[in-house]
Amino acid sequence: MASFFVDAAKLTGYASEEASFLQVSRQGSFNVRGLLLAGIIIGALGILDDITISQAAVVSSLKQASSKIKADELFAKAMDVGKDHISSMINTLILVYAGASLPLMLLFVDNPHPFSEIINYEIIADEVVRTLVGSIGLVLAVPITTLIAVIVFSIKKPN
* pTM to 2 decimal places: 0.75
**Amino acid (1-letter code) at residue 85:** H
Asked whether the predicted pLDDT for residue 159 surpasses 60, the reply is: no
CA–CA separation, 126 vs 5, rounded Å?
10
Higher pLDDT among residues 125 and 83, named by residue:
83
pLDDT per position as a tens digit, 99-129? 877 777 777 777 788 878 877 788 888 878 8
Q: Answer yes or no: are the C-beta atoms of 74 and 153 closer than 8 Å.
A: yes
| pLDDT value of residue 156 | 62
Q: What is the pLDDT of residues 49-69, one digit of tens each?
A: 889 999 999 999 999 999 899
Alpha-carbon distances, residue 47 vs 24, 51, 86, 107 (angstroms): 32, 6, 10, 27
- Give the pLDDT confidence score for residue 82 in this predicted structure: 93
Tens of pLDDT, residues 119-157: 778 888 887 888 888 888 889 999 999 999 999 998 866
